[in-house]
Amino acid sequence: MGPPRSKKRRPTFRRLLKTSGMKLENKLRNRQLKQQNVAKKQRKEQKKLRQAVKDAAIRTPRPLETYRKRPEEDEDEFLDSLPTDMMEDDDLQQMTAMAQQASFITRDLSSCGPVHGGKRRSSEVVRGYEKVPRKMARTEEKEVIHLLPIKDKTGVIPQSVERVVKKQQENDKEEDAAADDPREVENEMEPPGAVQLTAEQMEQLRVEKIDQKKLLIASLGSAVIADPIRNIKRMKELRGMLMESDPCVAVTVRKLVMVSLMEILKDIAPTYRIRPLTSAEKATKVKKETQQLREFEEGLVSQYKFYLEDLEQTIKDWKQKKKKRSQAVGFHSYHSLAEVAIRCLCELLLALPHFNFHNNIIVVLVPLMNDTSKKVSDMCCDAFRKLFQQDKLGGASLATVRVISGLVKNLNYNVRPEVLRTLLSLRIKEVEMKKDIEATAPKKKFMNNKEKKKNLSRMQRKWKKAEEKLEKELLEAEASESKEKKIKLHTETLNIVFLIYFRILKKAQKSVLLPAVLEGLANFAHLINLEFFDDLLNVLQNLIQSGDLTNRESLHCIQTVFTILSGQGDVLNIDPLNFYSQLYRMLLQVHAGLPNDDIIIVLRCLDAMLIRRKKQVTLQRAMAFVKRLSTLSLHVLPNASVGLLAATRATIHAFPKCDFLLDNEVQGSGFYLPELDKPEHCNAQNTALWELHTLQRHYHPVVQQLAAHLCQGAPSEGVGALSVELSRRFPVELFGDYSVRDMTFNPPVATPPTRKKDRFSAGAVLLDTKLQRQVDSVLDAAEGTQLDFTHTTTQH
Q: Footprint of other proteins on residues 688-707 (CB under 8 A)?
A: 688-701
Shortest distance (Å) from residue 750 CB to other proteins: 4
Binding test (CB under 8 A) with other proteins, winner from 17, 164, 767, 782: 767
> What is the size of the binding site for other proteins (CB under 8 A)?
78
Binding test (CB under 8 A) with other proteins, winner from 509, 568, 712, 727: 712
Shortest distance (Å) from residue 789 CB to other proteins: 5
* Rounded CA separation 228/235 (Å): 9
The 10 Å Cβ neighbour count of residue 764 is 7
Assess 781 for contact with other proteins (CB under 8 A): yes
Shortest distance (Å) from residue 140 CB to other proteins: 37
Binding test (CB under 8 A) with other proteins, winner from 674, 676, 721, 737: 674
Shortest distance (Å) from residue 597 CB to other proteins: 11
Residue whose CB is less far from other proteins, 446 or 690 = 690
Binding test (CB under 8 A) with other proteins, winner from 92, 102, 226, 771: 771
Binding test (CB under 8 A) with other proteins, winner from 57, 103, 440, 789: 789
**For 319, which DSSP code?**
H
DSSP assignment string, 561-588: HHHHHHTGGGGS----HHHHHHHHHHHT
Shortest distance (Å) from residue 180 CB to other proteins: 24
Residue whose CB is less far from other proteins, 338 or 590 = 590
Which residues 629-668 are close enough to bind other proteins by CB under 8 A? 630-631, 634-638, 661-664, 666
Residue whose CB is less far from other proteins, 3 or 701 = 701
Assess 763 for contact with other proteins (CB under 8 A): yes
* Rounded CA separation 429/490 (Å): 9
Query: Nearest-CA neighbor of 530 among 489, 574, 576, 569?
Result: 569
Binding test (CB under 8 A) with other proteins, winner from 471, 713, 723, 725: 713
Shortest distance (Å) from residue 710 CB to other proteins: 9
Assess 766 for contact with other proteins (CB under 8 A): yes
Shortest distance (Å) from residue 682 CB to other proteins: 12
Residue whose CB is less far from other proteins, 387 or 661 = 661
The 10 Å Cβ neighbour count of residue 612 is 18
Burial grade of 591 (CB within 10 A; 0-12, 13-18, 19 or more): middle
Type of residue at 603: L
Map residue 791 onto helix, strand or coil: helix
Shortest distance (Å) from residue 649 CB to other proteins: 14
Residue whose CB is less far from other proteins, 442 or 748 = 748
Map residue 401 onto helix, strand or coil: helix
Residue whose CB is less far from other proteins, 501 or 625 = 625
Residue whose CB is less far from other proteins, 472 or 653 = 653
| Range in contact with other proteins (rule: CB under 8 A) among 471-479, 514-522, 534-542, 740-748 | 740-748
Binding test (CB under 8 A) with other proteins, winner from 436, 728, 755, 780: 755
At residue 102's C-alpha, the angle toward residues 100 and 108, to 5°, is 145
CA distances from 23 to 18, 20, 33, 718 (A): 10, 5, 15, 71
Residue whose CB is less far from other proteins, 547 or 784 = 784
Assess 673 for contact with other proteins (CB under 8 A): no
Shortest distance (Å) from residue 584 CB to other proteins: 13
Query: Nearest-CA neighbor of 306 among 370, 252, 242?
Result: 242
Task: Label residues 711-739 b or e (16+ Cβ within 10 Å = b).
Answer: eeebeeeeeeebeeebeebbbbebbeebb
Residue whose CB is less far from other proteins, 615 or 756 = 756
Residue whose CB is less far from other proteins, 143 or 597 = 597
CA distances from 297 to 277, 309, 349, 360, 486 (A): 10, 18, 20, 19, 28
| Range in contact with other proteins (rule: CB under 8 A) among 221-229, 468-476, 564-572, 778-786 | 778-786
Is residue 645 within 8 A of residue 635, CB to CB? The reply is: no
| Range in contact with other proteins (rule: CB under 8 A) among 49-57, 234-242, 544-552, 682-690 | 682-690
Residue whose CB is less far from other proteins, 477 or 594 = 594
Shortest distance (Å) from residue 648 CB to other proteins: 13
Element (H, E) at 53: helix 21-59
Residue whose CB is less far from other proteins, 130 or 768 = 768
Residue whose CB is less far from other proteins, 279 or 751 = 751
Q: Name every residue whose Cβ is closer than 8 Å to that of residue 379 and which is 6 or more positions away in sequence.
A: 339, 342, 343, 346
Residue whose CB is less far from other proteins, 69 or 709 = 709
Binding test (CB under 8 A) with other proteins, winner from 33, 205, 393, 711: 711
Is residue 259 within 8 A of residue 177, CB to CB? The reply is: yes
Burial grade of 754 (CB within 10 A; 0-12, 13-18, 19 or more): exposed
CA distances from 340 to 114, 334, 343, 399, 624 (A): 15, 10, 5, 24, 59
| Alpha carbons within 13 A on the beta-carbon side of 592 | 11
* Rounded CA separation 760/757 (Å): 9
| Range in contact with other proteins (rule: CB under 8 A) among 122-130, 162-170, 438-446, 709-717 | 709-717
Burial grade of 454 (CB within 10 A; 0-12, 13-18, 19 or more): exposed
Shortest distance (Å) from residue 224 CB to other proteins: 44
Residue whose CB is less far from other proteins, 428 or 710 = 710
The full length of the chain comes to 796
Assess 761 for contact with other proteins (CB under 8 A): yes
Shortest distance (Å) from residue 301 CB to other proteins: 47
| Alpha carbons within 13 A on the beta-carbon side of 729 | 20
Shortest distance (Å) from residue 771 CB to other proteins: 5
Residue whose CB is less far from other proteins, 57 or 594 = 594
Assess 793 for contact with other proteins (CB under 8 A): yes
* Rounded CA separation 143/125 (Å): 33
At residue 639's C-alpha, the angle toward residues 637 and 642, to 5°, is 110
Binding characters for other proteins, 563-592, by CB under 8 A (x = yes): -------------------------x--xx
Residue whose CB is less far from other proteins, 13 or 789 = 789
Shortest distance (Å) from residue 693 CB to other proteins: 5
Binding test (CB under 8 A) with other proteins, winner from 123, 327, 482, 774: 774
Assess 742 for contact with other proteins (CB under 8 A): yes
Shortest distance (Å) from residue 339 CB to other proteins: 25
Shortest distance (Å) from residue 703 CB to other proteins: 9
Which residues 187-216 are close enough to bind other proteins by CB under 8 A? none
Query: Nearest-CA neighbor of 348 among 316, 380, 313, 373?
Result: 380
User: What residues does 233 pair with on adjacent strands?
Assistant: none
Relative orientation angle of helices 395-410 and 480-507, to the nearest 10 degrees? 10
Assess 745 for contact with other proteins (CB under 8 A): yes
